[in-house]
Amino acid sequence: MDLPRRHQANINAPVESLDGWDGSIAYLDRDGVLNVGREDYVKNADEVVLLKGSGHAVAALRAAGFRIVVVTNQSPVNRGMFTHDDLADINQAVIELLLAENSDAHLDLILYSPYAPWEYSPVRKPGPGMLQVGRQLLSGLPLEVTFHSSMLEHKFDEGRSFMAGDRDADMGAAMQHDVRGFRVDCNVGIAGILDRLLDDNDDGDALEI
């Protein structure tokens, strides 16, 4: 079965538990949400530029009880444009910039899909696979990837969980994983929709794909 890759860890490595967590997850795309995206891809750590307020937004989501799972399509890896090690350096730069802006801006997981579109992987957005794996890891469930959350052997109420991203693929992944989807302005990032994310009555944009 296809599995995403995990930043600087084996995909099956345990994830630190959190006392009192209600199960809410903020699934976040990376480029255009946390850092500035590029038409020719962010290819090395020197090209990483944090979108203003991203660190403060992540910290606010954590304070509101969300765990943070970054889910990012990174097909340039399998296309040979850069390596897994290059991507690890890029992801680490994002982590460090978030924490430099706000020391509480911790990410629980970074998952990425190295698969190209023509590989038709269920762990490439708009497939729900990366979100499913994030849920399973944080919930301590055995890893399995299916094409739709309703097919999971182990069900979990996603409750307040949401997906925030700047592309149709992100909204598609939200819809297939049965969570709210929030469209982000790629020039502003997650800070621009923070109030909506913290509003439990906001249904998001999951149907706008």
Per-residue confidence (pLDDT) for residue 156, from 0 to 100 = 63
Mean of per-residue pLDDT scores for the chain: 91
Query: Sign (positive/negative) of CA torsion 199, 71, 107, 10?
Result: positive
User: Predicted confidence band at 1 (pLDDT cuts at 50, 70, 90)?
Assistant: low
- DSSP character string of the chain: ----EETTS-TTS-----TT--S-EEEE-SBTTTB---TT---SGGG--BPTTHHHHHHHHHHTT-EEEEEEE-THHHHTSS-HHHHHHHHHHHHHHHHHH-TT---SEEEEE---GGG--TTSTTSSHHHHHHHHHHTTPPP---SSGGG-SS----TT-EEEESSHHHHHHHHHTTSEEEE--TTT-GGGGHHHHT-TT--TTTT--
Mean pLDDT of 22-47: 96
Domains of the chain in start order, with CATH, are 28-194 (3.40.50.1000)
Residue with tokens 């302005």: 185
- Decide if pLDDT at 198 tops 90: yes
- Decide if pLDDT at 149 tops 70: no
User: Predicted confidence band at 146 (pLDDT cuts at 50, 70, 90)?
Assistant: low
The CA distance from 195 to 101, in Å, is 19
List 5's β-bridge partners, or say none: 112
Q: Give yes or no for a contact between 169 and 125, defined as CB atoms under 8 angstroms apart.
A: yes
Q: What share of the chain has pLDDT > 90, as a percent?
A: 80
- Decide if pLDDT at 155 tops 90: no
Q: pLDDT of 73-120, one tens digit each?
A: 999 999 999 999 999 999 999 999 999 999 999 999 999 999 999 999
From 21-25, 116-120, 123-127, 154-158, the region with the lowest mean pLDDT: 154-158
Q: Give yes or no for a contact between 122 and 147, defined as CB atoms under 8 angstroms apart.
A: yes
Per-residue confidence (pLDDT) for residue 153, from 0 to 100 = 47
Per-residue confidence (pLDDT) for residue 88, from 0 to 100 = 98
Rg, the chain, Cα only? 15
**Residues 6 or more apart in contact with residue 9 via CB below 8 angstroms:** none
User: Both tokens of residue 72?
Assistant: 């990012």
Q: pLDDT of 54-83, one tens digit each?
A: 999 999 999 999 999 999 999 999 999 999
Per-residue confidence (pLDDT) for residue 23, from 0 to 100 = 92
Just list the catalytic residues. 29, 31
Global pTM reads: 0.93
- Decide if pLDDT at 151 tops 90: no
Q: What's the chain's length in residues?
A: 209
Query: Sign (positive/negative) of CA torsion 164, 85, 51, 69?
Result: positive
- Decide if pLDDT at 144 tops 80: no
